[in-house]
């Protein structure tokens, strides 16, 4: 383990090959979780923004899995009321962010905890919690985020935006495939969303479009993925002319959506 601290997928490979870690069941479970995480990060094309840091530690009494920090790079420290410049700080024990400061450093922190919430459900005769409620939590430095947004406001107009396109997966299309399509849309500046469940119900996906008044849907099934095509449907029209959506080559997806969005 000597010399291992910070890295990415290459660090995972080195850890898998470590003889001591290979004898630990819990270590292998943790590495398997990180492998799955990097798989999804690759699908979202955000691996370059992520580092695997073995030195990161906090909340050892209640975190049971992955922990993380969101770090902002390049933000200037603000000036406090007394004129002194602040330094971004994060309480490693409680995850509380010092929201009186903003600068280069963490703007959010959290992790996975399986046992904390269940502690409040009472205990059985064996002294174990009545309920096991796995959770993932995050603490966000709200004042820091607002300070950063105020700095940006001088350069660009900030406004609230709604989702424009919902990616609907049919027939067991993997969450990874849906991530890749959404990433293409995000990279093109199109505000898109998809269901985060591994196998979401089709009806629930349509309901999400209606509930959030999302105007367009990109529809993909196993056949569409294999043929390299997508179907696009205008969710505002209820006539039967579109049926399951109009089919286009995957390479034309962004252009077709941009054209339709320009007409909204």
Q: Is 87 a residue whose pLDDT tops 70?
A: no
pLDDT at 154: 63
Please state the rounded mean pLDDT for residues 216-242: 89
Residue 64 · residue 112 · CB < 8 Å: yes
Which H or E element spans position 9? helix 9-16
For 21-80, what is each residue's pLDDT tens digit? 888 998 999 999 999 999 999 999 999 888 898 888 888 888 988 999 998 876 434 333
pTM: 0.62
pLDDT at 80: 34
Q: What is the spatial distance between Cα 229 and Cα 247, in angstroms, rounded to a whole number?
A: 7
Residue 218 · residue 167 · CB < 8 Å: yes
The full set of domain ranges for the chain reads: 6-153, 165-262
For 159-183, what is each residue's pLDDT tens digit? 445 899 999 999 889 999 999 999 9
The second-level CATH assignment, the architecture, of 165-262 is 3-Layer(aba) Sandwich (3.40)
The second-level CATH assignment, the architecture, of 6-153 is 2-Layer Sandwich (3.30)
Residue 6 · residue 55 · CB < 8 Å: yes
Residue 35, helix vs strand vs coil = helix
Please state the rounded mean pLDDT for residues 237-253: 84
Q: Which residues contact 12 (CB under 8 A, 6 or more apart)?
A: 31, 34, 35, 38, 52
Q: What is the spatial distance between Cα 174 and Cα 195, in angstroms, rounded to a whole number?
A: 11
List b or e across 98-126, with b for residues whose CB sees 16 or more CB atoms inside 10 angstroms.
beebbbebbbbbbbebebbbbeeeeeeee
């Amino acid at each position: 383990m000597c010399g291992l601290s910070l890295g990415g997928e290459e660090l995972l490979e080195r850890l898998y090959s470590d003889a001591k870690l290979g004898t630990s069941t819990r270590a292998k479970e943790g590495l398997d979780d990180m492998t799955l995480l990097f798989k999804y990060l690759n699908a979202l094309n955000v691996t370059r923004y992520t580092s695997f840091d073995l030195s990161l530690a906090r909340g050892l009494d209640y975190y049971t899995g992955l922990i993380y920090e969101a770090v902002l790079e390049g933000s200037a420290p603000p000036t406090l009321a007394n004129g002194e410049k602040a330094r971004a700080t994060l309480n490693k024990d409680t995850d509380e962010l010092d929201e009186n400061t903003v600068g280069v450093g963490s703007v959010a922190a959290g992790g996975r905890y399986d046992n904390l919430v269940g502690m409040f459900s009472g205990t059985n005769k064996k002294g174990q919690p009545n309920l096991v409620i796995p959770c993932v939590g995050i603490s966000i430095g709200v004042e820091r985020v607002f300070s950063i947004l105020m700095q940006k406001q001088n350069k660009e107009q900030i406004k609230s935006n709604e989702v424009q396109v919902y990616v609907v997966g049919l027939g067991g299309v993997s969450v990874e495939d849906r991530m890749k399509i959404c990433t293409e849309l995000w990279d093109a500046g199109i505000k898109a969303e998809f269901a985060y469940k591994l196998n979401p119900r089709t009806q629930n996906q349509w309901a999400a479009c209606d509930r959030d008044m999302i105007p367009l849907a990109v529809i993909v099934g196993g056949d569409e993925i294999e043929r390299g095509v997508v179907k696009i449907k205008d969710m505002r029209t209820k006539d039967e002319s579109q049926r399951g959506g109009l089919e286009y080559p995957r390479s034309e997806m962004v252009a077709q959506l941009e054209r339709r969005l320009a007409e909204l």
